[in-house]
Amino acid sequence: MRNPARFPIKQGLHSRQAHADLPEQALYEREVGRDGFFGPASHIHHKHAPTGWTEWEGELRPRAFDLMQLNQLAEGNSPFSAPVILHNAHCQYRFWHCNEPMQKLARNADGDDLLFVHKGEGDLYCDYGHFVVTEGDYVVIPRSTMWRLAPRVPMQLLMIEATDDSYQLPEKGLVGNHAIFDPAMLRYPEINDQFLAQQDENTWQVEVKRHQRLSRITYPFNPLDAQGWHGDLTVMKINWRDIRPLMSHRYHLPPSAHTTFVAKRFVVCTFVPRPIESDPGALKVPFYHSNDDFDEVLFYHAGDFFSRDNIEAGMVTFHPAGFTHGPHPKAFAAGQAHKKTFTDEVAVMLDTRDALEITAASQAVENAEYVYSWKG
């Protein structure tokens, strides 16, 4: 079992503790850490912002994609036709416009799916019954569950597949099981009248995805014909409005404090409105950090994204591991002046241990100038 050497050292000008009372002569604090925000870390104080580059060459750069510009022709409104934006061996990141009821059932044999409803509302039918899903809902669909979605109004959904894996809730440690959100807020489908009414003897097809390839199975009846069930494996949902974020008025918490779901090789976090730190010496914007073990992806759902310039709802930023990133200059200056006392942003973050690959679909909607958006 590994036990890394850990011995706090101090050199030169520095603050007494992380993210608070930064010295005026070295105002820009950069966290260099391992294992996300859980491993050994040092905080280096700079005269200049670590994001103050003037030129960038090569593929390893911060990227921004406008998913509202995606050209989607999803045949039969299949989730498997939704374009892949980012992917690796353990994760697939898609964005799906579902405008009409699905004509076939879906079954993902490659892993659990996590849906986040960016816009719209609809009825979800699955092996376990029926419930309504609406804007702001997370929906966890266990691997190989049969399901279909029938929008009441056109829907836009972020889809994150845990390839060969499953979604779990995070360990909440010292703050207890009911922190962030009480598991009692999780909702599950019901065998209700609406579910029973959709059962018929018509011909239905099921699209099964395995090894990222599709097979189709035809039935002379609707296979969503359950009459009841019992157990502790099911589809579940929770809305971001039911999340009560951890907060400290004296310390800017790392993104990991906002973890909503975990898989073996990545985590999904949710940023929701909260008070901004009020202690005079506390950092009031995300700190500059070199997160060299994780790729970071942020989907912007709603609100005023206070740490970013020129980012709107429906956009995605992608910061690969290997370089320092942090707030844009205007956001940093506003944090120093404490111009805002409350955030109103809602965003979904994906942090992956394994490098993500971009696709032709994402490149087609990329803002190539995003890398220079940190210029003062």
Q: State the catalytic residues.
A: 252
Separation CA 127–CA 147 (nearest Å): 7
> Which tokens belong to 136?
């702001």
**Residue in 274, 253, 252, 255 with CA at minimum distance from that of residue 335:** 252
Known binder of ligand: residue 48?
A: no
- Please count the other Cβ atoms lying within 10 Å of the Cβ belonging to residue 333: 13
Known binder of ligand: residue 295?
A: yes
Is-contact 127 146, C-beta < 8 A?
A: yes
Question: Kind and range of the H or E element at 346?
Answer: strand 346-352
Separation CA 350–CA 258 (nearest Å): 11
- Please count the other Cβ atoms lying within 10 Å of the Cβ belonging to residue 201: 10
Separation CA 315–CA 345 (nearest Å): 13
DSSP H stretches of helix in the chain? 193-197, 329-337, 360-363
Tokens 């416009």 map to which residue? 97
Burial (CB < 10 A; 0-12, 13-18, 19+), residue 145, is buried
Known binder of ligand: residue 178?
A: no
Which residue ranges make up the annotated binding site for Fe cation? Answer: 289, 295, 325
Which residue ranges make up the annotated binding site for homogentisate? Answer: 325
Which residue ranges make up the annotated binding site? Answer: 289, 295, 325
